Structure 1
Amino acid sequence: MARSLLRKALRGLSLAQVRHVTPVPFRRAGPEVLEVYRAVESEFGVLAPPVVLHAAAPAALRASWVMLRDVVLAPGLLDRGTKEAVAAAVSQANECPYCVTVHTATTARFGGGRVDLADTGRFTADELPEVLGVATTLQYFNRMVSVFLTERPMPPYAPAFMLGPVTRMLTGLIASAVSTPPGRNPLPEAPLPDELAWAAGSPVVAQALARSKAVFDSAPVPEAARVLLAAELSTWDGRPKGPSRRWAWDAAARVGPRDRAAVRLALLCAFAPYQVDDEVIRDARADDAALIELAAWASMAAAVRATALTKSPA
């Protein structure tokens, strides 16, 4: 009972961390969003802001939750502590302070150790799809979180000294959540794309990623953005682009004026999400749903490519 009341009390904390889009509170959530919110609270432990930020686009919200639940939370060959350690390592490599804070703390809470992303040889062939699945999922969430959440799992007005106590409280709730049975995937069936062939050894991971990717790919993204991002990903070496944003502006200049703002946002989400600012969002947006759908599509495309490059999340 006490945990249930605490989870409800923390809903406002979760919503306060969302930026660039208007968060959807419980009381205004439609049936599809409300169903996901309740599942997240029950199975993750708290209303997770990295999932909540998708609420303006219900299909993307559900797809993001399926990835988190079936790939990271659900029992598999790897224990939860090891999965959290992989998540923390990927987040550190991507320099996502929010995700580093959360997954480092949950690694400790679940008894996980340090994972060297350059040494996947410590895992068996059967375990590797789960390792790479967690890596791909975090590659996705790191990008979305860097764009749409605050840098730490607290409201922007909260004093820094509160980070430790808040993090301990959150990880305690996460650790107390109900174990998630794998494979209860509500998304439409989808074939496993070639770039996710490495996931075939784990049907749960394979279907979570394939179905979620299909949802993200179905978004009404400008064709010019699809073509240009595919071309940029095909020659990408896996490292962030920058430090300036001139490369994104130069690339976007190759498409028509109508699509340039959307292309710039898509490129930045894929290759340098930390460079997305208010100006980029303002130029690209039509409404919150379109903004989330565009960013989610680009983030997933880059996440899949990042893992496929070397079969290593680094």
Structure 2
Amino acid sequence: MNSHLVRAARRGAEAQIAHVSLVRHAAAQGLVARVYDQVERDFGILAPPVILHSPVPELLAAVWTMLRETLVATGKAERAVKEAAAAAVSLGNSCPYCVAAHSTTLHGLVRGRDATAIAAGRLDEVGDPRIRAIAEWGVRFGTPEVPERPFPPEQAPELVGTAFAFHYYNRMVNIFLGESPFPPSAPARAHGAISRVMGRLMAAGSRARHAPGGSLDLLPPAPPSGDLPWTEGNEVIAAAFARTSAVIDRAGERAVPATVRELLTAELAAWDGRAAEPARIDEAVAGLPAPDRPAGRLVLLTALASHRVGPAVIAEFRRDDGADARLLECLAWAAFTTARAAAA
């Protein structure tokens, strides 16, 4: 791939992220550099939803491992089907950034207008019955209306894993990135050209073969978490989620007060997969001890209405500890815990 395009994509990716100071590609060392190299090689671009985690290297490695071993690694499910699932889950979660990014990748893998129909929410217009079925499943994943899995059991670790990963990523993207994968400084007239460049970079990665397990050595082995039965039958994906779960569970213990962890667990037990209204969040947070309410509001909004996490909510949380690491660990725990509930 043209090195000029790669450098331009890096600059565009690094310009999009709000709220935290990421590690730039030129300054990356150690674990961060290893992850960045894998992301560019296997995904095609230095994806902003991944690199926003770079202030916490272990967390960066964990969320990349989750994404690589489900969506990116070559397995039993076709990449086009996995991209359709990613776009549809993102549509259901009202994450326009991820809808645009993954419908663009899908467009490079399948002929016709199926990717455009998914991006527009017109699932009944999707012509390929396999793509339409996976999109109808993905858009309702995590709700009581989710249809039966439209794929054989041996594909479940990849496809349920992809849906899980995007329940996580959609929440983080809604907080840290804008509604469009285009750099904020890019004028509207340039979007077509940028889209073609990004499409070329991502298409190269999506068509290549990527051996399963390539990211596992980024993190030490971890015991299975016990609540992800859909990983059974795929040792690599089971190992990836064990590692990711261990990292994010530790992050939650460090960054999220126990009262808040208990509150989210209780809220998710009765969750119907839909966004919560502000009054519901306010009512739940009011029952917390006063010092824990900023974290409680941030966690519940991330889980149940991530599009409502704005600068004021983040500033309130950072009053006592302004570190990027604590913010990322808190948000990652909330998003991952919610993805667990969606996949249960």
TM-score, normalization: structure 1?
0.92
Paired position in structure 1 for 2:59: 60
Deviates more, 1:247-256 or 1:100-109: 247-256
Q: Distance in 2 between matches of 1:27 and 1:165?
A: 25
Match of 1:150 among 173, 178, 183: 178
Q: Distance in 1 between matches of 2:323 and 2:151?
A: 43
Q: Distance in 2 between matches of 1:179 and 1:63?
A: 22
Write the letter of the residue equivalent to 1:77. K
Within a 5 Å distance, the mapping from 1:207-222 to structure 2 comes to: 207-219=239-251, 220=254, 221-222=256-257
Match of 1:276 among 284, 303, 309: 309
Partners of 2:171 and 2:306 within 8 A in 1: yes
Paired position in structure 1 for 2:335: 299
Paired position in structure 1 for 2:229: 197
Summarize the Cα distance change of 1:120–1:77 in structure 2 as closer, same or farther, 3 Å threshold.
Answer: farther
Q: 1:90 offset after TM fit, Å?
A: 0.4
Partners of 2:70 and 2:159 within 8 A in 1: no
Q: Deviations over 1:27-77 (max 9, x none)?
A: 333322122111111111111000011011111111111011111100010
Summarize the Cα distance change of 1:70–1:121 in structure 2 as closer, same or farther, 3 Å threshold.
Answer: closer
- Listed as ranges, the gaps of 5+ residues in structure 2 are 116-130, 138-145
Q: 1:119 offset after TM fit, Å?
A: 4.2
Q: Deviations over 1:204-224 (max 9, x none)?
A: 222222221211110112212
Q: Deviations over 1:213-239 (max 9, x none)?
A: 211110112212211111111111111
Q: Distance in 2 between matches of 1:9 and 1:159?
A: 15
Paired position in structure 2 for 1:31: 30
Q: Distance in 2 between matches of 1:179 and 1:43?
A: 9
Write the letter of the residue equivalent to 2:267. E
Within a 5 Å distance, the mapping from 1:231-242 to structure 2 comes to: 231-242=266-277
Q: Deviations over 1:183-208 (max 9, x none)?
A: 13122222333331121122222222
CA RMSD, 1 decimal: 1.6
Q: Distance in 2 between matches of 1:121 and 1:307?
A: 12
Partners of 2:5 and 2:197 within 8 A in 1: no
Partners of 2:299 and 2:330 within 8 A in 1: yes
Paired position in structure 1 for 2:197: 169
The answer to whether structure 1 residue 256 and structure 2 residue 289 are counterparts is yes
Match of 1:129 among 157, 164, 168: 157
SS of the residue 2:210 aligns to: coil
Deviates more, 1:205-214 or 1:268-277: 205-214
Q: Deviations over 1:280-302 (max 9, x none)?
A: 01111221111111100100000
User: Which 4+ runs in 1 deviate beyond 6 A?
Assistant: none
Paired position in structure 2 for 1:223: 258
Q: Distance in 2 between matches of 1:255 and 1:230?
A: 14
Summarize the Cα distance change of 1:120–1:172 in structure 2 as closer, same or farther, 3 Å threshold.
Answer: farther
Q: Distance in 1 between matches of 2:12 and 2:84?
A: 25
Partners of 1:16 and 1:155 within 8 A in 2: yes
Partners of 2:294 and 2:313 within 8 A in 1: yes
- Listed as ranges, the gaps of 5+ residues in structure 1 are 309-314
Paired position in structure 1 for 2:299: 266
Q: Distance in 2 between matches of 1:271 and 1:68?
A: 22
Q: Distance in 1 between matches of 2:282 and 2:220?
A: 36
Summarize the Cα distance change of 1:119–1:165 in structure 2 as closer, same or farther, 3 Å threshold.
Answer: farther
Q: Deviations over 1:168-187 (max 9, x none)?
A: 21121112135321113122
Paired position in structure 2 for 1:183: 213
Q: Distance in 2 between matches of 1:121 and 1:227?
A: 31
Q: Distance in 2 between matches of 1:49 and 1:268?
A: 21
Partners of 1:71 and 1:204 within 8 A in 2: no
Count residues with an aligned counterpart. 305
